[in-house]
Amino acid sequence: MLHIGSEVGAALAAGTPVVALESTIFSELGLPEPANRECFRRVQAAVRAAGAVPALCGVLDGRAVVGANFAEAERLFSGAAKLGARDLAPAVAAGLAVGVTTVSATVTLAAAAGIEVFATGGIGGVHRGAAHSGDVSADLEALACHRVVVVSSGVKAFLDVALTFERLETLGVAVLGWRTDRFPAFYVRDGGPKLTSTVHDGTQVAAAVRAAAALGHPGGILVANPIPHEAELDAGTIAEAVSGAEAAARHDGFSGGDVTPAILAALAESTGAIVPANIALAESNAAVAAEIAAALVHHPEVGAGADH
């Protein structure tokens, strides 16, 4: 039911650093064609350039795949079924042909496969208006209960960043700013709440992972890496695009798991600079994740990513 690809399996056995990748962001539910494939090409190149092996995750023919090969990746990129953590078991049991995994599902699979580091663009979180809709991404709960380091540029721009940050605290997820003391706001470097921990390299994150394991901390660590300076967008433009995209998704009556893809698609259409910025931050997060994975491998006493 859990299939670990041959390159990833060999890397894990040999102690080569591995970085897990979700597949939703590389499907058309995350980015429009052909930017989705371009994003994957750059993300996996960034992981490899830092000496780590990428492990693209998804569900294919009723198996949860960790480390999709080239042909499997191609199938995932055109996948239309979005799987969160709770959807994994039913999808596998039903023999689903193609399902792309979100952050929550991928973190679950990474933990099951013994992969300690995961990279994405932005995690899901508390949606604006959640007091009414109750829409809170399963990504947060997954971060709280699996010992996996997640590297993201904060949370997606259209969420309620302050409420998401509060929820991370409630859930006990440690948030480390990567060379920043502000929680990044996805397309914009600053703008988020003040952080209590800042790290400057992979070794410092590895030390935090080691401490978390030693102290019995049950869950993961979120490393918040701001979008690269040169790719950063204007906060005003983003605010406007986000309200437009949100209103469009609401008007079209999307609910549940369809909300996020609908807003992402509307955003991508609204402003030309959004997709390149999304790719740039995902690529940067991949490089940071690979550095952390390498630091963990070089400090083996840091402890394996066992679940509680």
Least Å distance, CB 292 to ligand PSU, is: 19
Least Å distance, CB 65 to ligand PSU, is: 16
Which residue in this structure is represented by tokens 């901390």?
A: 217
Please report how the helices 274-298 and 202-214 are oriented relative to each other, as an axis angle in degrees rounded to 10. 60
194 is catalytic: no
Least Å distance, CB 110 to ligand PSU, is: 13
CA distance 161 to 228: 19
CA distance 137 to 131: 13
Please report how the helices 35-49 and 274-298 are oriented relative to each other, as an axis angle in degrees rounded to 10. 30
Tell me if 125 sits within 8 A of 137, measured CB to CB. yes
Query: Exactly one of 28, 156, 232, 283 is catalytic; which is it?
Result: 156
Least Å distance, CB 133 to ligand PSU, is: 11
Nearest residue (beta carbon) to ligand PSU = 30
- Residue 38 or residue 258: which is nearer to Mn ion going by CB? 258
- Residue 134 or residue 216: which is nearer to Mn ion going by CB? 134
22 is catalytic: yes
Summarize as ranges the residues that interact with ligand PSU (CB under 6 A): 22, 24-25, 30, 84, 102-103, 121-122, 124, 137-139, 156, 257, 260, 264, 278
CB atoms < 10 A from the CB of 301, how many? 8
SS3 content of the chain, % helix, strand, coil (to 5): 50, 20, 30
| Per-residue binder mask for Mn ion (CB under 5 A), 268-287, x = binder | --------------------
Please list every residue from 134 through 153 that binds Mn ion, using CB under 5 A. 135
H or E element in which residue 175 lies: strand 174-178
225 binds, among Mn ion, ligand PSU, none (CB under 5 to 8 A by kind): none
Alpha helices in 15-146 (DSSP H): 35-49, 70-77, 88-93, 103-113, 130-133, 138-145
108 binds, among ligand PSU, Mn ion, none (CB under 5 to 8 A by kind): none
Please list every residue from 84 through 143 that binds Mn ion, using CB under 5 A. 135
Q: Which amino acid is at 246?
A: E
Residue numbers annotated as active site: 22, 156
Residues in contact with Mn ion by CB under 5 A are 135
